[in-house]
Structure 1
């Protein structure tokens, strides 16, 4: 991955992180999902990265979408 990208969200729910990535994309914020889950047993984490310049805007969008108990970094 190119430099200047920052991990902004971590979860185990692929559906949730994909919804967040799509919301960021709709707001012209580039985001990359890195799935570190084991393919057989579905344990591990899924991480969302965005460019440093977009971090504040991305975190604001995630905060708007957040439910109590969600995992942000």
Structure 2
């Protein structure tokens, strides 16, 4: 993963993170999910949806438009 990517969404729900990522990808906005949850339990921590800086504004607009 490119270390210059920017967080556009944070959640504790893995399904929500994946739905947002897939929506961004379908809108031709490259996105990844960075999982920062504890691997032992999976209930502590967050998941961050990340995009490259040049797609940040488009990603935020997509998220706001879809009320995610």
Give 4+ residue runs of structure 1 displaced > 6 Å after superposition. none
Q: CA deviation at 1:64?
A: 1.8
Q: CA deviation at 1:32?
A: 0.9
Q: CA deviation at 1:3?
A: 3.8
Equivalent residues in 2 for 1:18-37, closer than 5 Å: 18-37=18-37
* Unpaired runs of at least 5, structure 1: 68-73
TM-score normalised by L of structure 1: 0.82
- 1:20-42: CA deviations, max 9, x gaps? 00000001110010111113321
Partner of 1:49: 50
Secondary structure of 2:51's partner?
Answer: strand
* Unpaired runs of at least 5, structure 2: none
Secondary structure of 1:9's partner?
Answer: strand
Q: CA deviation at 1:5?
A: 1.1
Q: CA deviation at 1:6?
A: 0.7
Superposed CA RMSD in Å reads 1.3
